[in-house]
Chains A and B, each alone.
Chain A
């Protein structure tokens, strides 16, 4: 199992050809209290870099972009029902969606945990 990160502050946990995607703890802290989440439904074809989900805090609305391409196998209904899960467990139960990777080579350009931490420190 490998975890990758993007400059848009998403994490991608890869097991075989399935990836779980969420936003990082750094991102949730920036957003503040999350009050609404919209996740893609099963079967949606996501394209890397395109809008995949919506997250809204008291302050603002933000799009979550697909960090890699693939077909959605599950959106996190628990998160839709309880958006505050993003704040309490951003990198755990607060995941957004799972997808089946269509091109594993897209993972090559992503950051590892250490690289991402350095990226956040520079922000």
Chain B
């Protein structure tokens, strides 16, 4: 990294709680407090508080906003009602993924949350591509927390009454003990939970209030990664990049029905063709035999030892107590149950394609039991 890492608003807060800090996405970030395994399990059993203030929070406002965004994203923005979130993808002209993001309609603006490592590039891209009638604001004074786990609602509703009314992928304005917050029911662990946007000036108070709840412990980036891997959620820069299309990445749910038919987003021709004819490779989940983790960079090999694919994320699943991975494999080998051979540091591993998520999602969908 060429420039020194910046500090986030909660830097001292993390350090005073014994966090081990590491450079990540240009910031000093907490990788762990008591240990990745314990933090991972705590999140799945109770509630974990994550500082994700490195992520980019943007607002976009202006005339014909939906149409302007639809020229950059494959989502049907007309379906995104006020207070609703939509997962989408910034695409380049070849259909490659510039970033993945969450877009929320907040009145007459869209609120976007983009990845920390890619936010500067995203902003440059948006400023270049959005029409002059639309204005983008980077909310640099805003911090972002995530509270994730089966007891997240219980803990948060005690200090932010009303959040229990939110269904999965909806958000609204709330107060956490007097701190103004935008809270959505969303996250990156596969658990029920919330993402909480507060001003940097208030974030220490919000984090204190949250961790005062008996259900809540602070959780580092290490567990964030193992949780999202178990949830089958791709990580930008690892499982997704500018050379990968949404069809290859098995993210076709992010391609809205109307947009598939109409096109009009970057790379539409290629993506429409891929939807029709399939792709050469596809992202799949793998259950790896034995106990040794197979990590990013390991190769998928054929019977003669030729490289035919690549592992893009891999690690040890604390819940399954077994190694799991995501990999791009030839489409003909993407069906669940297919045996896959992996090569890592000159050693071969046997794996099997499995459906994802590896650990079932437990989102709070309104109307569901």
Give A residues with C-beta under 8 Å from B. 32-33, 35-36, 38, 54, 56-59, 61, 83
Partner among B36, B40, B226, B291 whose Cβ is within 8 Å of the Cβ of A83: B291
- 13 further A-B contacts with Cβ under 8 Å, apart from A36-B292, A38-B292, A61-B293, are A32-B37, A33-B35, A33-B36, A36-B291, A54-B292, A56-B292, A56-B293, A58-B36, A58-B226, A58-B315, A58-B318, A59-B31, A59-B222
Interface string of B278-309 (1 = CB under 8 A from A): 00000000000001110100000000000000
Interface centre among B32, B292, B295 (most CB of A within 10 A): B292
Find out whether the CB atom of B291 lies under 8 angstroms from the CB atom of A32.
Answer: no
Tell me how far the C-beta of A5 lies from the nearest C-beta in chain B, rounded to whole angstroms.
Answer: 23
Task: Count residues on chain B whose CB falls below 8 Å from chain A CBs.
Answer: 17
Residues of B whose CB lies within 8 Å of any CB of A are: 31-32, 35-38, 40, 222, 226, 291-293, 295, 315-316, 318, 345
What number of residue pairs across chains A and B have CB atoms under 8 A from each other? 37
State the main secondary structure of chain B at its contact with A.
mixed
Contacts of A61 in B (CB 8 A): 293, 295, 345
**Contact (Cβ within 8 A) A32 B316:** no
Classify the secondary structure of A's interface with B.
strand
CB distance from B29 to the nearest CB of A (A): 14
Of chain B, the residue at the smallest CB distance from A59 is B222
Contacts of B31 in A (CB 8 A): 59
Q: List 20 A-B contacts (CB under 8 A).
A: A32-B32, A32-B36, A32-B37, A32-B222, A35-B293, A36-B292, A36-B316, A38-B292, A54-B292, A56-B316, A57-B36, A58-B37, A58-B222, A58-B226, A58-B315, A58-B318, A59-B36, A61-B293, A61-B295, A83-B291
Q: How far is the CA of A35 from the CA of B314 in the complex (A)?
A: 13
- For B292, what are the chain A residues with a Cβ–Cβ distance below 8 Å? 36, 38, 54, 56
A32 to B36, alpha carbons, bound, how many Å? 7
> In the complex, what distance in Å separates the CA atom of A57 from the CA atom of B225?
14
Q: Which of B32, B38, B291, B345 contacts A35 (CB 8 A)?
A: B291
Bound-state CA distance A61–B40 (Å) is: 19
> Are B222 and A35 within 8 A (Cβ)?
no
Closest to B222 in A: A59
A56, closest chain B residue (CB): B293
Chain B residue numbers with a CB within 8 Å of A58 are 36-37, 40, 222, 226, 315-316, 318
